[in-house]
Amino acid sequence: MKIARIAPLAYTPGKLEVFSFIRGGIGADYHQNPCFHQFADGEVRVSWSAYDFDECSDNAVTLYASSRDRGLTWSAPQVYLADYPAGPLTGTILRLRDSAEAIMLVQQVRHRIVVDEARRVATAGSNYFEARTHVVLRRSTDGGRSFDHGVELPHAQFTGGKDLPGGGFYGSVDELLQLQSGRIVAAFMFMDPARSDPSTRRQHYSIACLLSDDGGRTWRRSSEITADTPRGAMEIQIAEIGPGRLFALFRTKAGCLYQTASADGGETWSASEPSPLTAPESMARMIRLQSGNLLVVYNNVSSTTQRPRYPLVAALSPDGGRRWSAPRVIAEESGTNQLSNHGMIQIDDGRILLGISHYRDMRPMTSDLDMAIFDEAWLNHG
């Protein structure tokens, strides 16, 4: 099966290169939420969600492509995860340090939407109070190339006992990382029944972490991260800035990203507060670079709505999130188009691969997947 041919990309040290990776309407109307993984032998894999009509569509699958030359040429996309009747599947892989083991948290969400297939649009969106998320922990003994069937984690571990009406929870796993100590931190957001109102469908989200000190075999829940903003705290990103010291940014509707910190490896978190990074209600992605600097990629226009989701910019922090450099523009758009729902990785030779969901507001609406390749020298150039 060949869904598409990915054209060769290029990397120029010290420069930014941006390419169209796969166009919307090829294989699926929408391509979004890229997630990267590098194997021990240098091979890089990118996986992403592909669907028609709406991000809650039950025909969503996870596609993947692989590169053996660090992001320049890629295999044709293939199906990685799929389960139509039970809802869309997505998975995040963490290769455990100094080990052949890896873990993957596969989340599956069942939505109910109404679709006009003739016009290829969703005419009624999901009632998120009726949606349910299931998270399955799968293990690998070959660095993430193959996985067992896994075991579902109890939803009470995520909710802390605060179930939605009818039981269960709705949310997403947004970060999976291993600390210097070996501890695994799986950070997630969940619709908080204590702060939401089903009668008006007013959603409010809180964040917490599952922590494991035995390679993911047992887990315990951290304290919660909350924000007194409309819709609350969403889509967190965490970086370890010193042994057991964590810094985090997350999405809000407050016109900026919020921040919080932990001094005990994610057990407890400081009161959240506005960061200096202006943003709409849109996700950010943050990683710690090999240099020790933090890199954040985000939309930097202050807005209390989900628009505009452009430009897409990058900023560096040399001091664990206290100060940020002036943003450098990676990509720009206009009108109601969007550059968002992105993912990134710094691979072993220092280059940074950034996958970008590029929404085009046309009928039928589509989302391309773009790819940017750059390095820290380009980030520091401006």
Tens-digit pLDDT profile for residues 121-171: 888 989 999 999 999 999 999 999 999 999 999 999 999 999 999 999 999
Q: Which of 174, 150, 40 is nearest to 95 (CA)?
A: 40
Q: Compute the average pLDDT of residues 103-128.
A: 89
Tokens of 56: 């809650």
Indicate if the pLDDT at residue 364 is higher than 80. Answer: no
pLDDT at 313: 98
Residue keyed to tokens 């009108």: 335
CA distance 169 to 41: 38
Among 37-46, 108-117, 314-323, the minimum mean pLDDT is found in: 108-117
* 8 Å CB contact between 15 and 374: yes
- Assigned architecture for domain 17-238+339-381: 6 Propeller (2.120)
Rounded alpha-carbon distances, angstroms, from residue 4 to 22, 55, 79: 7, 21, 12
Helices (runs of H) and strands (runs of E) counted in the chain: 2, 26
Q: Compute the average pLDDT of residues 172-198.
A: 97
Q: What are phi and psi of 352, to 5 degrees?
A: -115, 130
Indicate if the pLDDT at residue 332 is higher than 90. Answer: yes
Q: Compute the average pLDDT of residues 91-105.
A: 95
Q: What is the mean pLDDT of the chain?
A: 95
Among 18-22, 59-63, 185-189, 249-253, the minimum mean pLDDT is found in: 59-63
* 8 Å CB contact between 192 and 208: no
* 8 Å CB contact between 272 and 228: no
Note the pLDDT tens digit of each residue in 261-280. 999 999 999 999 999 999 99
Segment holding 246, helix H or strand E? strand 245-251
Confidence of residue 85 (pLDDT cuts 50, 70, 90): low
Indicate if the pLDDT at residue 25 is higher than 80. Answer: yes
CA distance 370 to 100: 31
pLDDT at 314: 98
CA distance 320 to 240: 8
Domain ranges of the chain: 17-238+339-381
The half-sphere exposure of 238 on its side-chain side, counting CA atoms within 13 A, is 31
Indicate if the pLDDT at residue 382 is higher than 70. Answer: no
- What single letter denotes the amino acid at residue 226? T
Q: Answer with the residue of higher pLDDT: 57 or 274.
A: 274
Question: 220: exposed, middle or buried (C-beta count within 10 Å: 0-12, 13-18, 19+)?
Answer: exposed
